[in-house]
Amino acid sequence: MYNKGLFHSWVPKPVMLLLIVLIAALYCGISGIYTTNITYITGSTGAMTEYYLWANYAYAIGLGTVMPLIVRIKARFRTKELLVTSLTMCGVLFIIQGTSHQPFIIIACSYLIGVFKMIGMMEVVLPLMMLLSTGGNRGIFYSIYYSALLVITQLSGYYVAKISHLYNWQISYMYIAMICFTGAMICIIFQHNQRFMRKVPFIYIDWISVLLFNTTFMILAYILAFGKQQAWFESETIGYAAVSFFILLFVFVVRQQLIRRPFLPLNAFKKNNVRHGTIMLLCLGMYLATATIQNIFAVGILGYNPETNASLNLLLIPGLVSAAIVCYNWFKNEIPLRMLVFSGFSAFLMYSIMMYLSMSTTFSYSMWYLPMFFKGYGMGVIFVATWYYTLDKLDLASMLGLIGFAILWRTFIAVGIFSATYSWVQYQFQIQSLNNLAVYLDDAMLLRAGSGISLPLVQLNGVLSATKLIYGYINIAGIGVLLYTLFHHYGRIRTLKTRVYINKLGTLMMSKKDKESIEKQLPDHI
């Protein structure tokens, strides 16, 4: 007998809803590596920061790997088996991370946490989608789900940093493991042990493509994480890794086109909304990667400790809540996407302009409120709107495969490319700024008593100047992004060429072929 629900029949429906929300919130707070915690991990293990940046990218790769396989996994195992195993394995992996000082073990655990998290999370996301998608409107579900996901992510990152500051980073990981085990116990008690559908073995899965997918993007993650540290292509290791990446990517793409059931359906990229949605997610990565230079300013210039720096993420929450309200009403009233996307990128531009004008050592904590509100609003709106637009009008197989790639593109590739670029450019601008300041210094001035020249202050001014330059270039690029989002058609057809004629009775006629062509091109909601 099959049961499409999650819990025993004796569980009251309000309790079922509460349990689904609690388990979903638990999964939203799980991460392979907490970026707010990296400073403490680096100080404790003695390994370079780049290893843990690589671990963060590996976590995103683990998330993306599961999505194309989720239907096969769901058909093979019971829902209870998936949730209990997922939460238990996440807890075990957090314990391994918290007791290890080897960066490669932490990287492997981070990847596996991404895999098990996505396997279990889809079991609670699908029921929530059915409950929240009023009248089949996915936009309403995205407005609530993604906003909640982003809010919980900020809260979990802050509390992990706070616990690490008060005790140590291992304790924070033990707390997360205990929460995972508690969630697994709840699933054991309240979930039924029946199947969702008929048991189907693991067939028609191209495991070679899965291996190629993981190997290719793990190499790319290594390049983006260690590029600056190894002087990019001046390093033989980075050069060999880049060649390997392009060869494996070529093999992967060719294989997807040749096999009957591809792991990643490349035909989806023939759709106009998928291509433009990918571009918009790249633009989103440009702004999300500003966290790199924001951290340089907050920690390097203002002297914030990791806990205070992590608390800045809490200032995003009012903007995220505002974005959720706006997106919910926008999709509920079925308003075209153009101005919603435009408002999101406009908020991001306001954030970068305010940061550009605020590069000063006198920047107080209260001055973060407004720019972080704009950043939170932009993040919430663009996450929801671009995800909805990119996945619109796709069949289930194409959508699941594309979701895996889109997670990778949004969370890892786009952010990784711009983060690596910002780090390298900031360093180059800092050297250039110090060279410019050195023009006014000489030995006589430096050695003269009472000259009042402080070399640390000179370096501080160099960092400020470099950071301000980067924000300036982001502002210029942001204007281009606004123009692009304003003039993109979002699936609306401006003109249609048709053949019409008038019959003997004077009636305007159109061929059946032209009618079908118009119906295919017009969106569902204009």
The answer, yes or no, to whether residue 147 has pLDDT greater than 70, is: yes
Q: In 133-202, where does DSSP find H-type helix?
A: 138-166, 169-190
A 10 A CB-CB count for 255 gives: 16
Q: Which residues pair with 510 in a beta bridge?
A: 500
Write out pLDDT tens, residues 72-95.
888 788 888 888 999 999 999 999
Q: Are strands 508-510 and 500-502 parallel, antiparallel or unpaired?
A: antiparallel
pLDDT band for position 1 (50/70/90)? low
Write out pLDDT tens, residues 353-369.
998 988 888 888 888 99
Q: What is the dihedral of CA 242, 247, 252, 255, to 10 degrees?
A: 170
Task: Give the lowest-confidence range in 438-442, 456-460, 521-525.
Answer: 521-525
Q: For residues 323 and 492, which has the higher predicted lDDT (pLDDT)?
A: 323
The answer, yes or no, to whether residue 512 has pLDDT greater than 70, is: no
Q: Look at residue 2 in the predicted model and tell me its pLDDT.
A: 60
Q: What CA–CA distance (Å, rounded) separates 177 from 70?
A: 24
Write out pLDDT tens, residues 388-397.
888 877 777 6
Mean pLDDT of all residues in 452-463:
71
Q: In 259-337, where does DSSP find H-type helix?
A: 272-288, 290-295, 306-311, 317-332
Q: Look at residue 232 in the predicted model and tell me its pLDDT.
A: 84
Mean pLDDT of all residues in 284-298:
88
Q: For residues 233 and 504, which has the higher predicted lDDT (pLDDT)?
A: 233
A 10 A CB-CB count for 517 gives: 14
Q: For residues 204 and 41, which has the higher predicted lDDT (pLDDT)?
A: 41
The answer, yes or no, to whether residue 494 has pLDDT greater than 50, is: no
Q: Which of 160, 222, 127 is nearest to 30 (CA)?
A: 160
The mean pLDDT of the chain is: 83
Percent helix, strand, coil in the chain, to 5, is 75, 0, 20
Q: Look at residue 442 in the predicted model and tell me its pLDDT.
A: 61
Amino acid identity at 376: G
Mean pLDDT of all residues in 50-74:
87
Q: Which of 363, 360, 364 is nearest to 463 (CA)?
A: 360
Domains located in the chain, CATH noted: 1-204 (1.20.1250.20), 284-496 (1.20.1250)
Mean pLDDT of all residues in 469-481:
91
The answer, yes or no, to whether residue 447 has pLDDT greater than 60, is: no
Answer for the pair 119, 303: CB distance below 8 angstroms, yes or no: no
Mean pLDDT of all residues in 426-440:
77
pLDDT band for position 497 (50/70/90)? very low
Q: For residues 448 and 493, which has the higher predicted lDDT (pLDDT)?
A: 448
Say if pTM beats, i.e. exceeds, 0.95.
no
Q: Which residues pair with 509 in a beta bridge?
A: 501
